[in-house]
């Protein structure tokens, strides 16, 4: 699983209720990678003790969307679930969706960019709800079946 941090797993820089527990449970079956600009400077502290790889995006330039998309190249995209909410997540969600993976747009109260929503397979309110779909994947069937 690849996920953005700010606004996706957190609100106002703090992990949303229930996210820590969901990430702990998910880590038993999947590798967790968090990609962040860390707008509030809280990701390291908030994610402390969780079995995941935290990657800060570099530079103040406008290529964070490209950096996130390039990180995907380390994986077989059809085996990836990705969570995001901001414009910097749109290319990553689009690439995962186009290659057969699961792209989830998430809103925790800070909003979700329209381009990101349009590049997702599904939009979910609340990070705990989104992670819950990965923990209980049968819940996705009704939403994503054709």
Confidence at residue 146, expressed as pLDDT on a 0 to 100 scale = 72
Nearest to 4 by CA among 26, 31, 32, 34: 34
**Is the residue at 137 inside a domain?**
yes
For residue 126, give the CATH number of its domain: 3.40.50.1000
Give the model confidence (pLDDT) of 3-32 as tens digits.
Answer: 999 999 999 999 999 999 999 999 999 999
- Please give the tally of structural domains in the chain: 1
**Is the residue at 146 inside a domain?**
no
- Separation between Cα atoms, residue 89 and residue 137, nearest integer Å: 22
pTM beyond 0.85: the answer is yes
**Is the residue at 15 inside a domain?**
yes
Query: Which domain covers residue 101, as residue numbers?
Result: 2-141
Confidence at residue 62, expressed as pLDDT on a 0 to 100 scale = 77
């Amino acid at each position: 699983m690849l996920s953005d941090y700010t606004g996706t797993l957190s609100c106002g820089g703090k992990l949303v209720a229930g996210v820590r527990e969901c990430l702990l449970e998910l880590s038993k079956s999947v590798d967790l990678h968090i990609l962040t600009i860390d707008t509030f400077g809280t990701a390291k502290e908030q994610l402390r003790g969780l079995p995941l790889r935290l990657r800060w995006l570099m530079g103040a330039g406008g290529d964070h969307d490209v950096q996130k998309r390039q990180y995907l190249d380390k994986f077989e995209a059809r085996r990836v679930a990705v969570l995001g909410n901001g414009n910097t997540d749109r290319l990553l969600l689009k690439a995962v969706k186009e290659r057969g993976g699961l792209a989830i747009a998430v809103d925790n109260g800070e909003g979700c960019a329209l381009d990101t929503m349009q590049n997702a397979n599904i939009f979910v309110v609340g990070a705990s709800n989104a992670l819950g779909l990965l923990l209980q994947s049968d819940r996705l069937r009704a939403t994503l079946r054709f």
